[in-house]
Amino acid sequence: MNKQLIAERFSKAITTYPREANVQRQIADKMIHLLTEHISSPCSKVIEFGCGTGIYSRMLLQTLRPEELLLNDLCPDMKYCCEDLLKKKQVSFLPGDAETISFPAESTLITSCSALQWFESPENFFERCNTLLNNQGYFAFSTFGKENMKEIRQLTGQGLAYRSREELTASLSALYDIVHTEEEVISLNFNNPMEVLYHLKQTGVTGTCNQSWTRSKLNLFCQEYERLFSPGKGSVSLTYHPIYIIAKKR
């Protein structure tokens, strides 16, 4: 996993991400609803890793009203997207790789939306978060499952090593009580494969893709995409596969 390349791709997409990331916004909204439904205790000290442009962060602040909200992102430039949040005294920003940087202990909630799939070792991170939470603390996140971007993976042979909901819950179960899990498949339609590629570039999610596009490769990609993934005349599909998990420290 080239973390520097991932950060660079997301940095380039800062201005376009809020417009294009409709699925991520939908996922963040659902995650907030799940938190309010399944966590009854106050979340006074919250860490959000992979905050990005702050879509989920703003929801957390407005809904949970934590006394402390620490925002983290691999890309330091995301700080400027969260300037409105950082004007509030209870909000701070810590740039860096969440898998290695130091987070404060005794947190009541460690959470994230659409970020864990970029981690080298989610299992090690699960253990680390368990030590950072207080005795009643929660670990809640959304990530993506094996069907995510299946069209791109099938045609390019590139993509992330997504884990299934069963694999994630099995890894968590040694340290946490699983409070809630669910998954869904969201299919977006685009007019043509070029719009799909544009959408992915504008959201920055091409961080592991080293595809070198020649005109002939691009033409072949578009032809195969239309042949294999056209749900209706004049459109092609792109699949998102979000997984939602809420766990409590045992």
Q: Express as a percent the part of the chain with pLDDT over 90.
A: 80
Pairing between β-strand 133-144 and β-strand 242-249 as defined by DSSP bridges: antiparallel
- Supply 216's token pair: 């002939």
Statement: the pTM of the whole predicted model exceeds 0.75: yes
For 89, other C-beta atoms within 10 Å of its C-beta total 7
Q: How many CB atoms lie within 10 A of CB 2?
A: 11
Distance CA(21)–CA(128), nearest Å, equals 29
CB contact burial 49-87 (16+ within 10 A = b; e otherwise): bbbbbbbbbbbbbeebebebbbbbbbbeebbebbeebbe
Q: Is the pLDDT of residue 247 over 90?
A: yes
In terms of Cβ atoms closer than 10 Å to its own Cβ (0-12, 13-18, 19+), residue 230 is middle
The predicted structure's pLDDT at residue 166:
98
At residue 12, the pLDDT reads 83
CA distances from 184 to 1, 11, 170, 196, 243 (A): 26, 28, 19, 20, 7
Q: Are 34 and 57 in contact (CB under 8 A)?
A: no
Q: Give CA–CA dist 118/241, Å, rounded.
A: 15
What's the distance, Cα to Cα, between the start and end of the chain in Å? 31
pLDDT over threshold 60, residue 130: yes
Listed residue (12, 7, 1, 2) closest to 203, CA to CA: 12
Residue 111: other Cβ atoms inside 10 A: 28
For residue 101, the Cα-to-chain-centroid distance in whole angstroms is 18
Which pLDDT value is given to residue 6?
Answer: 81
Q: What pLDDT, in 10s, does the model give residues 137-188?
A: 999 999 999 999 999 999 988 888 899 999 999 999 999 999 999 999 999 9
H helix intervals, 76-164: 78-81, 83-86, 122-132, 150-156
Average pLDDT of the segment spanning 77-102: 96
- pLDDT at residue 13, rounded to an integer: 80
210 pLDDT more than 70: no
Per-residue confidence (pLDDT) for residue 181, from 0 to 100: 98
Quick one: pLDDT band at residue 207, thresholds 50, 70, 90?
Answer: very low
**Cα distances (angstroms) measured from residue 52 to each of 28, 48, 164, 166, 184:** 12, 10, 24, 27, 22
